[in-house]
């Protein structure tokens, strides 16, 4: 497998993911990582429905390393998506290899955030997570 895109997007799977990203970078499935997402039954159901015919795996950070490794060993292509930089920082700290480029999409305004651009707002915890990810050698690209 190859991971076609490694991305942060607080919407996770949505129309643009399905219409734009999957056409630009064809994939066989989507790996979603996030403890809050994995433990929210309704959100899991909605995300899987949004992916149409694509296979979706939703995992906790603790499960992610094994699932990503198995995916890399397969012959399929996947997107790896989470809704938070904190998730990728946790994975990097655990030694989980998710690639060397992290694409940052929309992170909407929340209480305590500062707007960095048209679609990205971060708080201090997000900033610290990005710093941690960068220290592990990952190139962070805001899009």
pLDDT in tens, 59-102: 999 999 999 988 888 888 999 999 999 999 999 999 999 989 99
Distance CA 38, CA 5 (A): 20
Question: Residue 50, by phi and psi: left (phi above 0), alpha (psi -120 to 50) or beta?
Answer: alpha
pLDDT tier for residue 1 given thresholds of 50, 70 and 90: low
Q: How confident is the model at residue 17 (pLDDT cuts 50, 70, 90)?
A: low
Q: Which residues contact 17 (CB under 8 A, 6 or more apart)?
A: 9, 11, 30, 50, 79, 81
Domain boundaries, the chain: 2-142
Domain 2-142: assigned CATH number:
3.40.35.10
What pTM value is reported for the model?
Answer: 0.92
> For residue 104, what pLDDT is reported?
96
Query: What phi and psi, each to the nearest 5 degrees, are found at residue 40?
Result: -105, 100
Backbone dihedral angles phi then psi of residue 64, each to the nearest 5 degrees: -60, -45
């Amino acid at each position: 497998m190859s991971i076609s895109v490694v991305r942060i997007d607080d919407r996770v799977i949505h129309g643009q993911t399905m219409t734009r990203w999957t056409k630009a970078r064809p994939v066989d499935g989507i790996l979603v990582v996030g403890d809050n997402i994995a433990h929210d039954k309704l959100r899991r159901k909605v995300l899987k429905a949004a992916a149409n015919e694509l296979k979706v795996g939703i995992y906790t950070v603790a499960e992610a390393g094994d699932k990503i490794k198995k995916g890399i060993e397969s012959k399929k292509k996947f997107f790896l998506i989470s809704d938070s930089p904190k998730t990728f920082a946790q994975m990097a700290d655990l030694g989980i290899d998710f690639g060397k480029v992290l694409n940052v999409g929309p992170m909407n305004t929340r209480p305590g955030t500062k707007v960095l651009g048209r679609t990205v707002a971060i708080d201090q915890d997000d900033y610290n997570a990005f710093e941690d990810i960068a220290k592990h050698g990952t190139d962070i690209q805001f899009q």
